Structure 1
Amino acid sequence: MSRLAFALEQAAEDRLLADAVEHGHLIVGRALAPNDLLTGLDVLAPEVVLVGAGRSALSAALLEACDLRGIRIVALAADDAERAQARALGLHEVFELASTWRELEPIVSGGVPVPAAAHGNAAGHEPVRAASVIAVWGPAGAPGRTTVAVNLAAELAAAGHRVALVDADPYGGVVAASLGLLDEAPGFASACRLAGSGALDRGELERIAQRYSSARASFEVFTGLVGPSRWPELARDRVTTALGSIREWVDYVVVDTGFSLEHDEELTSDQFAPRRNAATFATLALADEVVAVGLADPVGLSRLLRGHAELVDLVDPGRIRVVVNRVRTSALGIDAYGQVRQTMRRFAGLSDVVMLPHDGRAVDAAILTARTLRDAAPKSPLRTAVRDFAHDAFLPAPPVAVRRRRFGPVRAGVAAT
């Protein structure tokens, strides 16, 4: 049970109030004006505030006051403009105004706390922390790089963070097709061109990015090259600058990279020509974490082992997380998980390997509907494994909530207006 304060339009409040009470929450304030809410936080002592995302209701002062008191603030946005307003202030937990209480209940009842960044970004100070850049790499042979990248982005977004998914594959990425987004114009290449001319700012990022919309798991997408012949647009300096700008805009940047680690400049006499793999090298150099994805069959494991040996020459081994995808007995025999674990330990000295089960039905459903696993097959073993990996590897451990002891009976109902 949580203590709730409502600062919403009357129609939205009326729609949600009954369900909130039915779920056992205590309503400590209703139809609160912005000033009344701000000045009454200490008196009402809410644990969660539901507020409209418009400029008239949501402000940097309110976000900072709630953060200082440990109050969760959840905004409901009526349109993209209000959503952008809330994001610009640094609020991570933004829902559609038409959201049902069933969608809001998990976060109200104790989802992972995500402090707003109002007192950092909006007040003109430095952000609380730089965004994490996660590069998803894998050798040739379709090991599942894009599947892992897309669903990592979805799980990080579902945890309440703002996430950007970048398709930086110089050989022609498929992120847009996987999510049913338009790819007539390559979003990341556009960002790189603007970065090269010093014109890539927050407004341009919002214009270029496409949004994958989902209940509690929406994220921004920078689509990849329309055709592989356009790889010269992804020059190393431009990629580095563009990713640097994106990481100032979001909390996590997940980058789907190319497979090749070949230093092609050694194969040409023109030392000033564009490099096909420059985007991959730039991403790996900038990344805080590198997820190396391999396929769980004899050929796939062989490619992963050889590629991992090349990868450790470019990236600190402590930043590499190895993921073996599509683990199945039909390709490896009895005890497939044990065989993968033994192979990686014996030939690469790796004991900490994440293994994802083969789940063709879930992947087919996601491809057919152009959705993430979280939306297309939320209870599938593969989605569960990716979610657990995202939480264990990249999300900070939630602080232990210390609830204030209250004396006297507390009932579910309307305590104050």
Structure 2
Amino acid sequence: MARLAFAVEPSVEDRLLADAVEAGHVVVARAMVRAELIEALDVVAPDVVLAGAGRAMLDAELLEACDLRGIRLVALAASDAERSHARAIGLHEVFDAGSAWADLEAAVSGGVTLPSRVSGEASRAGEHSNGAVIAVWGPGGAPGRTTIAVNLAAEIAAAGHRVALIDADPYGGAVAPTLGLLDEAPGFASACRLAGADALDRAELERIAQRYSSPRASFDVFTGLVGPNRWPELARDRVGTAIAKIREWVEYVVIDTGFSLEHDEELTSDQFAPRRNAATFTSLAKADHVVAVGLADPVGLSRLLRGHAELVDLVDADRISVVVNRVRTSALGIDAYGQVRQTMRRFSGLSEVTMLPHDGRATDAAILTARTLRDASPKSPLRAAVREFAHEAFLPVPAADERRRRRVRRARRSAVAAAAV
């Protein structure tokens, strides 16, 4: 189900409206001019805008406004000239104005791999197909797994992608209280039970998922266990099937995993008994990319180094990104960033480490309001660092941004050459 805003010719709207509602979508706005539509985006918070491809409605300002809020923009072109205009401003989701609703359903429901403004170029981190899975892992000691997972989901959703956040921690979930969601019925455990009965389909996913709503970055959440004693509900096969079904439903899946990588429980005499850490092992195995999070203090770095050595036995090293959280001079002394970089390079051979600044004010604001950093403190240094990491590691680079970067690099080289003369 998607929240739709119609900004097309009345005849086109009349033809599509009934089918859209019958398909289960909610229409939140209709028949507005471009300026009114842009002003209403924050108020009505649509997931998808269906707009005419004529110059009177579709322009770079509308495209940028939708991109900024993570809203999918789909254009309906009545002529070759309108189609060319949409392509010229960078919109790739363009359909014929005479298309039936069945032709639009895939775009409206998130079936298009990339958002409108993103070209087909791969990011520096490599290509990611529809359904990429990102597992966020970290050792014991509260290094910030849930904070990173929640805000990665928010930043990827804000870039225009359909995202699902899974709380798969078998020791008790923290995603629901972090986002102020009700967790009487754990969503991911429900998905696993349905998967075990071969009954997990799209309708059930939409039913059990909770929606974190934001004008700029909404995403679906499968809440975690309400108590650690319910861990047998997250059996290995069921977890694997549930993740596979969810990744078919969305573009990106972010998983908040458990901390323990112990195999001791498998030495028991009952080889068919459920394993407490099975959900964590399965999430890591199913992930296309693993984010290993550690704390920037002597104890936290020691735990991260030991945990990373165990993690590379389970996951290929090229699929792991190491993130050091809460970097601060009060715990590491002068040049805290240099200390972290030197420690990781010396003891683990890691030269590429993402470091996130300590920002207690922003994280406290997010916890107090049960919101993401993007919503609670959008200008905070921590939120900016998480956004940069998400874009660098997981998201394709928009062609316009790449051209801008090239112009900046050329300008810098020219400035250096002029200074040398």
Where in structure 1 do 4 or more consecutive aligned residues deviate above 6 Å?
8-11, 18-21, 55-58
The Cα shift of 1:348 comes to: 0.4
Could you report, residue by residue, the CA deviation over 1:245-288 in whole angstroms, capped at 9, with x for unpaired residues? 00000010000000000013344222211100000000111111
Q: 1:131 aligns to what?
A: 131
Q: Pick closer, same or farther for the CA change 1:28–1:62 going to 2, 3 Å.
A: farther
Q: 1:17 aligns to what?
A: 35
Q: Check whether the contact 1:234–1:278 (CA below 8 A) recurs between aligned residues.
A: yes
Q: Pick closer, same or farther for the CA change 1:235–1:397 going to 2, 3 Å.
A: same
Unaligned runs of 5+ in 1: 65-84, 94-106, 116-127, 404-417
The amino acid across from 1:86 in the alignment is: V
Secondary structure of 1:248's partner? helix
Instruction: Note if 1:40 corresponds to 2:67.
Output: no
Cα distance in 2 between the residues matched to 1:337 and 1:282: 33
Cα distance in 1 between the residues matched to 2:401 and 2:303: 45
The Cα shift of 1:129 comes to: 3.2
Q: Check whether the contact 1:58–1:86 (CA below 8 A) recurs between aligned residues.
A: no
Q: Check whether the contact 1:60–1:89 (CA below 8 A) recurs between aligned residues.
A: no
The Cα shift of 1:215 comes to: 1.4
Q: 2:264 aligns to what?
A: 264
The Cα shift of 1:43 comes to: 5.0
The Cα shift of 1:339 comes to: 0.1
Cα distance in 2 between the residues matched to 1:20 and 1:271: 59
Q: 2:397 aligns to what?
A: 397
Q: 2:8 aligns to what?
A: 7
Cα distance in 1 between the residues matched to 2:133 and 2:145: 15
Identity of aligned residues (%): 70
Q: Pick closer, same or farther for the CA change 1:358–1:279 going to 2, 3 Å.
A: same
Using the size of structure 1 for normalisation, the TM-score is: 0.74
The amino acid across from 1:160 in the alignment is: G
Cα distance in 2 between the residues matched to 1:194 and 1:20: 41
The amino acid across from 2:8 in the alignment is: A
Could you report, residue by residue, the CA deviation over 1:184-206 in whole angstroms, capped at 9, with x for unpaired residues? 00000000000011000111111
Q: Check whether the contact 1:323–1:353 (CA below 8 A) recurs between aligned residues.
A: yes
Cα distance in 2 between the residues matched to 1:6 and 1:114: 27
Using the size of structure 2 for normalisation, the TM-score is: 0.73
Q: 2:414 aligns to what?
A: none
Q: Check whether the contact 1:133–1:255 (CA below 8 A) recurs between aligned residues.
A: yes
Q: 1:68 aligns to what?
A: none
Q: 2:167 aligns to what?
A: 167
The Cα shift of 1:56 comes to: 10
Could you report, residue by residue, the CA deviation over 1:293-346 in whole angstroms, capped at 9, with x for unpaired residues? 000000000000000011011111111100000000000000000000000000
Q: Check whether the contact 1:139–1:294 (CA below 8 A) recurs between aligned residues.
A: yes
Q: Pick closer, same or farther for the CA change 1:214–1:18 going to 2, 3 Å.
A: closer
Q: What is the 5 A alignment of 1:338-357?
A: 338-357=338-357
Cα distance in 1 between the residues matched to 2:371 and 2:191: 24
Cα distance in 2 between the residues matched to 1:186 and 1:43: 47
Cα distance in 2 between the residues matched to 1:62 and 1:138: 41
Q: 1:239 aligns to what?
A: 239
Cα distance in 2 between the residues matched to 1:378 and 1:181: 21
Secondary structure of 1:28's partner? coil
Secondary structure of 1:160's partner? coil
Q: Check whether the contact 1:160–1:216 (CA below 8 A) recurs between aligned residues.
A: no
Cα distance in 1 between the residues matched to 2:103 and 2:79: 13
The Cα shift of 1:63 comes to: 8.4
Q: Check whether the contact 2:110–2:250 (CA below 8 A) recurs between aligned residues.
A: no
The amino acid across from 2:242 in the alignment is: A
CA-atom RMSD in angstroms = 3.4
Q: Check whether the contact 1:92–1:162 (CA below 8 A) recurs between aligned residues.
A: no
The amino acid across from 2:55 in the alignment is: V
Task: State how many pairs are aligned.
Answer: 341
The Cα shift of 1:173 comes to: 1.2
The amino acid across from 1:42 in the alignment is: A
Could you report, residue by residue, the CA deviation over 1:120-155 in whole angstroms, capped at 9, with x for unpaired residues? xxxxxxxx9341110000000000000000000000
Secondary structure of 1:238's partner? helix
Cα distance in 2 between the residues matched to 1:43 and 1:247: 34
Unaligned runs of 5+ in 2: 1-5, 14-28, 40-52, 59-74, 122-127, 404-421
Q: What is the 5 A alignment of 1:364-375?
A: 364-375=364-375
